[in-house]
Amino acid sequence: MMSGLCGAAEEKAGSRQRLQVKVHEFKENQDVADVSRRLVLEKTAKVCLVPFSLSDYKPDAFKLPKSLLDKNSNNEAACKTYKKTEIKKTFREVLTPKMKATTSSKTESTLQKSSLDVHTENHKQHMSTSDTGLLSVEMEDSQDGDSDEDTSGLDDFSGLSPYERKRLKNISENANFFASLQLSESAARFREMIKKRQPSESRRKKPKKRENGIGCRRSMRLLNVDPLGVSLPETPTQPTVVEDENPLLPPGPLAMTPENRDDNSELLKGFLQTWAEVNKTNSKNNEKELSSIKSYKANLSGMVISEDTVCKVTKGSIFSMALHPSEIRTLVAAGARSGQVGLWDLTHQPKEDGVYVFQPHSQPVSCLYFSPANPAHILSLSYDGTLRCGDFSKAVFEEVYRNEGSSFSSFDFLAEEASTLIVGHWDGRMSLVDRRTPGTSHEKLITSSLSKIRTVHVHPVHRQYFITAGLRDVHIYDARHLNPKRSQPLTSLSEHTRSIASAYFSPLTGHRVVTTCADCKLRVFDSSCISSQIPLLTTIRHNTNTGRWLTRFRAVWDPKQEDCIIVGSMAYPRQVEIFHETGKRVHSFLGGECLVSVCSINAMHPTRYILAGGNSSGKIHVFMN
């Protein structure tokens, strides 16, 4: 009986000693993180678990012993301290609810004694027998593919389910597999290789030149050698001259040489002689009273157009027009984009025989007037910075004003005898020109308050006043108080919201001003009293959006009826419209098949009922009785 008890005690002590040796087979220099993942050394999977009392267990209060026993039981520290978060994670995965129920009593009774003997001999730590213990589980890894139900080393934990045993075995096998891959060592080697490796510069290797090889064939002309291989003398290179698209014409008078006919033609001589004599028979127009609207409408209704009164006169768009004041013959003048000035005498038949085209300018002719003092003179102004006077009696275009550093936009006569002129520049400046002074320079150059000037028009009665149309404003100036540095206007018409095309005084009294604006409105102002305020009388809705390829509309007064306005139209069928200053439409000129284009520029004869309209292809359409 006693011998049996002693044998059992010795067997129990031997098994406890074997458990202690197997628990401490970890190496001293292993990292704690690797220990939590790799629990297998060599061929044996070892899972170290610390049992605890479930009755008094608190997750936040649990702490793992600081060291484990080594394999020689020499009380040396074998592992480093576990992190609290990893410990909690390990115990949550291993201890299932079933395990908690089966091990709570066993860890407090059967294994408590062995755990106390080991810890009291090595650490002498004062720990409660109800809270601490040591639990070791041994799993043998079978290389020959043993069954999943291998329970060697788990005899003391019969409470674990087969699923838990299989799970522990899978953990150990996965840990062994990842350890055999040596991923950390490979990653470290790759990092070193990347650091040591430097990016190579990708440069294209230049081909080696062959010393004795024959290169590409080259032209002997390019090599500048003759067929025998003798080098030729170098030819001096001449600088290339870039031709100007619109070169300025030479200064001084230009002969009236028609572009469409022979200059020695007898027809040209007869044409010029006819218009030189017109001045002698032309009587000065006396101021007449306004006719009634009823009689005026009746006269307009009698004006018709035919194929004989439609003719192409110039090359390109028409920018300006004028009607000769003769009451015997009908002569129409047109200024074109190309710098041409075309004259058409409608009394000649066929109609092509009465057309003569001259080239006094190199750029668009934006303004054209017959001289009020001598109708045999026609004055033309161009973007090229020149103002010329065509004299029919001399058959020459004389130069009146020249300024190559500027571009002209419009002009008008300050004096009735046409001796002094006011010239508007595109850059906002103005020039006073006296034709009686020798030379072609200005008398005074004035800087206005506008950044750009499109049109200039002089008051028909009080000729010291003139009106200018700029980008958004219309200004009225007094020619007697012009300052060369910067002149301020007497008043401004600032009701416009978009770009302004033109502004003109009424022809007889100057009591009205009509403006054409890109906001599709014609405005009529009361200029009977030129003061700081010019009231707006009427706003007329009218489509003025001509687009890019058509000349902009410019509404003008009828010189016979100063309360009526003439303007082109974008409406279908194509027409030219006349409005009263109150905004009512007075008449629309319809031409049928003879008028199929937009007449942007229009002019009315000062005494006769003749209307001429020019389009953007150089054609002139004439309505007459």
Greater confidence, 95 or 599?
599
pLDDT digits (tens, 9 = 90+) for 427-438: 999 999 999 999
Residue bearing the bigger pLDDT, 306 or 283? 306
What's the chain's Rg over C-alpha atoms? Answer: 56
Q: Give me 518's structure tokens.
A: 């890109």
For residue 125, pLDDT over 90 is answered with: no
When pLDDT is cut at 50, 70 and 90, the band that residue 134 belongs to is very low
Q: Which stretch, 62-66, 90-94, 229-233, 575-579, has highest mean pLDDT?
A: 575-579
Name the nearest CA neighbour of 443 among 453, 455, 460, 430: 430
Mean pLDDT over each residue of the chain, to the nearest integer:
77
At 214 the pLDDT is 57
Tell me, what's the pLDDT at 241?
Answer: 54
In the block, tokens 């707006």 appear at 536
What phi and psi, each to the nearest 5 degrees, are found at residue 200? -85, 140
Helix (H) or strand (E) holding 140: strand 135-140
pLDDT at 136: 36
Task: Output the pLDDT for position 72.
Answer: 40
460 vs 192: which has the higher pLDDT: 460
pLDDT over 50 (residue 64): no
Under 8 Å between Cβ of 358 and 336: no
Q: Is 87 helix (H, G, I), strand (E, B) or coil?
A: helix
What is the model's pLDDT at position 53? Answer: 47
Which pLDDT belongs to residue 223?
82
Alpha-helix residue ranges (DSSP H) falling in 341-387: none
Q: Give 315-333 pLDDT, tens digit per residue.
A: 989 999 999 999 888 999 9
Specify the pLDDT at position 197.
63
pLDDT the model gives residue 532: 82
Q: Could you tell me if 459 and 412 are in contact, meaning their C-beta atoms sit under 8 angstroms apart?
A: no
Between 556 and 136, the higher pLDDT residue = 556
For residues 174-179, give the mean pLDDT: 90
Between 219 and 305, where is the model more confident?
A: 305
Q: Taking 50 as the threshold, does the pLDDT of residue 557 lie above it? A: yes
Tens of pLDDT, residues 242-267 = 555 677 888 889 999 898 887 667 77
* Complete domains list, the chain, with CATH: 293-624 (2.130.10.10)
Terminus-to-terminus CA distance in the chain, angstroms? Answer: 158
Helices first, then strands: H and E counts in the chain: 10, 32
What string of DSSP letters covers 570-605? --SS-EEEEEETTS-EEEEEE-GGG--S---EEEE-
In this predicted model, what pLDDT tens digit does every residue of 27-51 receive, in sequence order? 444 443 443 444 333 444 444 454 5
Site of tokens 């003798």: 230
Question: Is the model more confident about 146 or about 440?
Answer: 440
Percent of the chain with pLDDT over 90: 49
Q: What is the pLDDT of residues 97-124, one digit of tens each?
A: 444 434 444 334 433 444 434 333 443 3
Residues 542, 567: contact at Cβ < 8 Å? yes
Neighbours of 247 (CB within 10 A): 9
When mean pLDDT is compared across 178-187, 473-482, 499-508, the lowest value belongs to: 178-187
pTM of this structure: 0.62
What whole-number distance in Å separates Cα of residue 531 and Cα of residue 523?
18
pLDDT higher than 80, residue 82: no
- How far, in Å, are 247, 580, 611 from residue 476 at the CA level? 35, 24, 29
Helix (H) or strand (E) holding 144: none
Residue 262, pLDDT score: 72
Region of residue 402 (left: phi > 0; alpha: psi -120 to 50; beta: else): beta
**Local confidence band at 520 (pLDDT 50, 70, 90 cut-offs):** very high
Q: What's the confidence (pLDDT) of residue 178?
A: 87
Q: What are phi and psi of 355, to 5 degrees?
A: -105, 130
pLDDT tier at 584 (50, 70, 90 boundaries)? very high
Whole-number pLDDT of residue 213:
52
At residue 456, φ and ψ (nearest 5 deg) are: -130, 135
Q: How many Å apart are CA 529 and CA 288, to the nearest integer?
A: 22
Predicted confidence band at 288 (pLDDT cuts at 50, 70, 90)? Answer: low
Q: Which two tokens stand for residue 380?
A: 């033309």
Cα–Cα separations (whole angstroms), residue 133 to 40, 136, 363, 380 = 22, 10, 111, 120
The reported pLDDT for the residue numbered 30 is 42
Exposure string of 212-223, with b = 16+ CB inside 10 Å and e = fewer, is eeeeeeeeeeee
Residue 134: CB partners within 8 Å, gap ≥ 6? Answer: 19, 23, 50, 51, 111, 114, 115, 118, 119
Task: Decide: 500 and 453 in contact? Cβ < 8 Å.
Answer: no
User: What pLDDT was estimated at residue 292?
Assistant: 87
The pLDDT of residue 599 is above 80: yes
pLDDT score of 5: 42
**Helix, strand, coil shares of the chain as percentages rounded to 5?**
25, 25, 50
**Rounded to an integer, what distance in angstroms lies between the CA atom of residue 448 and that of residue 489?**
8
Lowest mean pLDDT among 191-195, 524-528, 586-590: 191-195
Give the number of other CB atoms < 10 A from CB of residue 456: 25
